């Protein structure tokens, strides 16, 4: 397909596609003349992912480029590619090791992960996962403000996230090839986070109505 059809199929303007090509977010098409190229279904799929990252997820171009580089790294297996790509997504602030609550928060996080049997966040015994850092930062804030944040308090949330992860990867496995699955996993990580947040708030509102609402 030519550029105009690629734009129609993907819902991305031709000017934006050209920008993505210049920035290395989309691989070039097959050159057919000095000024024209031909594109295929892989370009359509990649544009959907780039659009999810940049236009929906508001991820900076530099971060999106890092994510896409991880997805193209054929030296990694699908699990490693997914992990590297997700780690490259923007995350919240890293833990402040000068925070007096930091060490206690890290111990709480480690206790929680041990109870769950989760090891990925602390690969090679080093808490390198950005998600692990986010967890420690969140626990620090909860503790500092006097809210419940023990491993026992957090475990029910973690168990709910285990079930969510199963649902996530069930969706991913609907895609045919490993490349499609890894790309879909990254896109769904970005696109489903607002869905999860909104559903949690709606569920809390419903539970509040049931418990505290007037008859």
Q: Is 26 left (phi over 0), alpha (psi -120 to 50) or beta?
A: beta
Cross-strand pairs, 30: 38
Nearest Cα to 136, choosing from 147, 125, 149?
149
pLDDT in tens, the chain (215 residues): 888 888 998 888 999 999 999 998 888 888 888 778 899 888 998 898 888 888 888 888 888 888 888 888 778 787 888 877 777 777 777 677 777 788 899 999 999 999 999 875 544 444 467 888 889 999 999 999 999 999 999 999 999 999 999 999 999 999 888 888 888 888 888 888 889 999 999 999 999 999 998 66
Rounded Cα gap, residues 52 and 175, in angstroms: 17
Query: 95 Cβ partners below 8 Å, 6+ apart?
Result: 102, 105, 106, 133, 136, 137, 140
Q: Is 124 left (phi over 0), alpha (psi -120 to 50) or beta?
A: left
Distance of CA 1 to the CA centre of its chain: 30
Rounded Cα gap, residues 158 and 118, in angstroms: 10
Helix (H) or strand (E) holding 204: helix 178-212
3-state secondary structure of 38: strand
Cross-strand pairs, 31: 37
**pTM for this predicted structure:** 0.80
């Amino acid at each position: 397909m030519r550029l105009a059809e690629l734009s129609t199929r993907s819902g991305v303007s031709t000017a934006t596609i050209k920008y993505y090509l210049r920035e290395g977010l989309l691989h070039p098409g097959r050159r057919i003349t000095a000024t024209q190229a031909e594109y295929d279904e892989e370009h359509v799929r990649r544009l959907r992912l780039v659009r999810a990252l940049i236009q929906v997820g508001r991820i900076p171009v530099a971060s999106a480029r890092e994510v896409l580089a991880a997805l193209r790294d054929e030296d990694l297996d699908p699990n490693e590619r997914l992990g590297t790509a997700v780690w490259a997504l923007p995350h919240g602030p890293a833990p402040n090791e000068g925070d007096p609550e930091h060490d206690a928060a890290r111990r709480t996080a480690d206790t929680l992960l041990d109870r769950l049997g989760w090891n990925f966040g602390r690969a090679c015994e080093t808490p390198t996962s950005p998600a692990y850092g986010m967890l420690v930062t969140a626990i620090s804030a909860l503790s500092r403000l006097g809210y419940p944040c023990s491993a026992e308090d957090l475990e029910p949330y973690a168990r709910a996230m285990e079930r969510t992860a199963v649902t996530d990867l069930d969706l991913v496995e609907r895609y045919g090839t490993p490349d499609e699955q890894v790309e879909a996993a990254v896109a769904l990580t970005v696109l489903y986070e607002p869905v999860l947040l909104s559903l949690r708030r709606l569920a809390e509102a419903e539970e509040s109505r049931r418990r505290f609402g007037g008859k």
